[in-house]
A and B are shown apart, each in its own frame.
Chain A
Amino acid sequence: MVEAKEMINETECETKFEPKLIGFLCNWCSYAGADLAGTSRVQYPPNIRIVRVMCTGRLDPQLILNTFRYGADGVLIAGCHEGDCHYIGGNYRAYRKYILLKEFVKKMGINEKRLRLEWVSASEGERFAKVVREMVDDIKEIGPSPFGVTTTGGVVEDEPEPKI
């Protein structure tokens, strides 16, 4: 009997993986969009912790890599749509860094779905919520990050032990 109970607990544990996401949002569009999701009372899963930056152009690849190193299961970078960046082209430069980062992250053995860049305007509260929902679902599917200090689980199959 006791055994059976433990088994149930274990399966519960497995389905209860709650990914930890870090979102880097630019102040002018995406942070405002996330605020609008709030003002409009749009609901989304509570898995994301948002860090405000003035512009996505600020995002240093090193910071993103550190974020994975500290155990984030996913990283969202969100900024203004093309042509809307408050600082003209910060988002374009962020995009170029993102392309390189994606390659790098893959080489580190991190599933590329864990890093996502989205353009979310100040009026797209619902879309911000949708992006978070999608990311949480995607990452639940692929499981905890191999760097995860927050999870007890071992390394996920398609993600070999990271080398850095």
Chain B
Amino acid sequence: MEEEPRIGVFVCNCGINIGGVVNVEEVAEYATTLPNVVVSRSSLYTCSDRGQGMIKDDIDEFKLNRVIVASCSPRMHEPTFRKVIEEKGLNKYVFEQANLREHVSWVHSKQPEEATKKAKDLVRMAVAKARLLESLPQHLVDVKGEALVIGGGISGLTAAKSIADRGFKVHLVEKTPNFGGKMAQLYKVFPTFDDPQELLNPLVEDIMAHPNITPYLSAEIADIEGYIGNYRAIIREQTEEKEIEFGTIIVATGFNAYDPNGEFKYGKHQNILTAMELHQLMRADGPTQGNLVTPAEGKPPRSIALISCVGSRQNENTVPEGKKPNAYCSRVCCTGMIATGMEIKEKSPDADIFVLYRDLRTHGKGHEELFTEFRQTGSTMIRYTDDQLPMISSTQGAEYPLSVTSYDSLSGLNVEIPVDLVVLATGMIPDDSASNIASKLHITISADGFFQELHPKLAPLDSVTDGVYLAGTAQGPKDVPDSVSQSLGAAAKACAPMALGQVEVESTIAVIDEDFCTGCGVCQGSCEFSAIVFEERDEGKKVSKVIEALCKGCGTCGSSCPSAAITMLHFKDAQLDAMVKAALTPQAGEK
């Protein structure tokens, strides 16, 4: 026999985040009028130790067999509260969360009455579902102790080595013929002015010699499928294809430099360069063996303008027609520009440097100090505004080949600067392969085009897919120290399930009732994961069966079966129906 539901409802104030708008006491009071609710309380922070303790105590005292927390989004704290009730011996699927913060108090902050009413509705819906919740069996899957790292820039290299050093096998796939990514193309890296090769070479040597790492160069992921613990991919290395199996994935596909074509006369004069091009020009293995000379004349530059925020922090006014504005800050170009200024001064001490900036963001450790040092060089700082971008014109026949005019909001004057060289501090955009990788791995991309983390504060290294982690600039603009920290973190995250050898996956899968199944096969055609197969029964009857490990619980088969033979665990027809009914007919839900 089914035991009678005994529901506890815990309504959270979330400090003043919910309580400042919704009358939390009233909602908690109201919950006691709902069927099967045996206790209902409010608390200041339900996720705190105290709040969790309250839930645990009530589970004991009131013999609760269902728990509802009405608080923030389940996308944030469902795992937290599930763990709390599991500690008290309840199955994690008898937990339900009502979202009173993201879906109520924060979006109806000026309508406290309506917000309170809506909060009660959401609690009533949660109770309606909770009454029908069931304990589900735990599903464990084995995790193969091998990882795939996509991208061999500093981020991918760091993550690969870190995982391999812990004793797991790593497949490191880089699409170009060389490891090192963009860092390998730089002249020097701030804030320490190291030669990037000196940092990268020992790392790459370690990687190539590491017994646990299989490197793939000029390679791509031709195909990939599976789920946490059990992935399979085909790697295409030049003409060869190889099939590999692994348990976790690190995405370290990095960034591309913004292409300023059509902006600031880029492409119209040889002496207008991007920051990346200037780095290449200054390198000992560059076209002029590291001599800093202007591309057009081959002479040392006397006067140089550096322009910030090219391709970053754009808005409708500053973005060239037909392009989508990149609203974000690329986070490395300011300090990069300052560092470049100092490197130029080192090579050509007499050159005059003009820095045209919008805001100077030297946020990293040691960056502001670098800026203070740069100011000792006596270079000129000009602050331009986003409604009057600096203009560049070529001045044939004049003493200097280029001229930059700009409004300077510091002095309030329009200035005109004759220069030999213009350097555009171009920002970062995601690698071209990002959207392809995203759809292959079922991970998401944020509005800026970079991969989206599961939660910006609490889960910055996780993607939305279990077993897939994000490292470095693939997730958003970063300098090398930040890329390395994030990669070490992502590596540690990937190692956790591999070290355990098994992980629990969601039990919310599809189940087919053989008695109702007519063997029509419609469900098999609707499943994107080939998780349903035919099985023969006596008398040659064919029925469909779900392969548990392959089912992702999307529910698509369930809504397609003409015989209503498929049940979606935890999202059953009856459960959803009860929620809708409760939402629309208040009296139906009350005691």
Contact = CB atoms under 8 A, between A and B. Distances in A.
Interface stretch (B61-69, B114-122, B471-479): B114-122
A114 interface: no
Interface stretch (A21-29, A134-142, A156-164): A21-29
A97 B579 CA distance: 22
B279 interface: no
A97 B557 CA distance: 13
A53 B571 contact: yes
B114 A93 contact: no
A38 interface: yes
A79 to B, nearest CB: 11
B114 A46 contact: yes
Given A49-B121, A93-B559, 5 more contacts: A37-B106, A46-B111, A58-B558, A60-B573, A121-B444
Contact of A39 (B106, B452, B526, B573): B106
Interface residues on B, range: 35 or more
A84 interface: yes
Contacts of B577: 63, 66
Interface of B: 73-76, 99, 101-104, 106-111, 114-115, 117-118, 121-122, 125, 438-439, 442, 444, 446-447, 452, 464-465, 508, 526, 528-529, 552-556, 558-560, 568, 571, 573, 576-577, 579-581, 583-585
B107 A49 contact: no
A151 B115 CA distance: 20
A43 B584 contact: no
Contact of B446 (A54, A72, A122): A122
A93 B73 contact: no
Interface of A: 20, 22, 27-29, 31-32, 34-35, 37-39, 41-46, 49-55, 57-63, 66-67, 70-72, 83-84, 86-90, 93, 97, 121-124, 129, 149-150
A43 B110 contact: yes
Contact of B106 (A38, A122, A124): A38
Contacts of A72: 580, 584
Contact of B99 (A50, A55, A63, A67): A50
Q: Which 8 A-B pairs have the closest CB atoms?
A: A58-B555, A38-B102, A57-B556, A87-B554, A123-B447, A38-B106, A88-B528, A55-B554
A149 B585 CA distance: 8
A41 B109 contact: yes
Contacts of B114: 46
B554 A54 contact: yes
B446 A63 contact: no
B107 A58 contact: no
Nearest to A121: B444
Contacts of B107: 37-38, 41-44, 46, 129
A43 B554 contact: no
A145 B452 CA distance: 39
Given A49-B125, A50-B103, A57-B559, A90 B528 contact: yes
B196 to A, nearest CB: 33
A49 to B, nearest CB: 4
A89 B529 CA distance: 10
Contacts of B75: 27, 31-32, 35
A51 B579 contact: yes
A86 to B, nearest CB: 5
Contact of B584 (A57, A88, A150): A150
22 contacts: A22-B584, A27-B75, A43-B107, A55-B554, A55-B555, A55-B556, A57-B555, A58-B556, A63-B576, A63-B577, A66-B577, A67-B584, A70-B580, A70-B581, A72-B584, A84-B444, A87-B442, A87-B528, A87-B554, A88-B442, A88-B529, A93-B559
A93 B75 CA distance: 25
